[in-house]
Amino acid sequence: MKNIFTLLLITMFSFVMKADVSVSEKKALVKLYEVTNGSNWTNKWDLNKPVSAWYGVKIQNDKVVSLELPNNNLVGVLPSEISNLQFLKVLNLYKNTISGSIPSSIGTMKSLESLFLSFNKLSGEIPASIGNASSLKTLELFMNRFTGKIPSEIAKLNNLETLSLYNNEIEGQIPSSIYDMKNLKVLLLNSNKLTGSISHSVSNMTALEQLSLFDNKMQGQVPFDLEKLKNLKELNISYNKFSGLVSKNLSKLDVLNMTMINNNGVAAVLSVTTDKNSALASEE
């Protein structure tokens, strides 16, 4: 009886070891390895071993659910085949040297919950198709070279809680649809080339805890609607061209006390009022 039990254990173990992901998923991983100079990765893959043994790859029920290769010396581009990882929940390629653009096929990754591509050399526009990756909760693309405008389609991501696009070269206005993202907790758009004003609709973002628009080219009156955001803990909208009066509460909440750049290129702190009504009147 003991021998039979041992044989069963060996058989089960052998089955688990042989279990592997689909051909499509494996090809996608191999493609990533090839186009990002895998032979020079800090932690390399032995392509002769099962995918389950590859560094940074997590498998559940023979599906790749997580791919985490931060700070691993990936040099190259992000292949469109990455979208073949249809069960992927986490894609973390933070702090590598990935260049080129984000493939539009990223929008077909319906299971993806977290996308970390920060601290790379990605460029071009953020693809509008990213708004179709409906499970996304965290989207971090900061410290890259993205240009163009923020795609309004991002607002379709109803589950999104963190949107971090700072330190890029993104321009244009914040899409009005962004202000309707009621589940968004963190919005970091600082150090870009954004223009326009902050919409009064910012009060719709009731879950917002962090808002940073620091170091852009935005202007207009600072809306007192920001005070309606009861969950807001961190605010930094300084080093723009906002004008007018601000309340004492908003001034204190801002990390740099509402220090703006005037038309002469000089840094100046906005005037603070204790009379909200007078400030609102000036806003109108």
This model's pTM is above 0.85: yes
Residue 146 to residue 216: CA distance in whole angstroms = 15
Q: Return the sign of the alpha-carbon dihedral for residues 247, 253, 257, 260.
A: negative
Query: Both tokens of residue 226?
Result: 């920001």
Supply the pLDDT for residue 274.
61
Residue 33 to residue 274: CA distance in whole angstroms = 59
pLDDT category, 277, cuts 50, 70, 90? very low
pLDDT category, 264, cuts 50, 70, 90? confident
Better pLDDT: 15 or 100:
100
**The pLDDT of residue 249 is above 80:** yes
Residue 24 CB neighbours (<10 A):
11
**The pLDDT of residue 248 is above 90:** no
pLDDT tens digits, one per residue of 202-228:
999 999 999 999 999 999 999 999 999
Mean pLDDT throughout 101-130? Answer: 98
Nearest one of 163, 153, 148, 162 to 194, comparing CA atoms = 148
Contact 97, 119 (CB under 8 A): no
Q: Which residues pair with 76 in a beta bridge?
A: 98
pLDDT tens digits, one per residue of 49-74:
999 999 999 999 999 999 999 999 99
**Of the given ranges (12-26, 106-120, 157-171), which has the lowest mean pLDDT?**
12-26
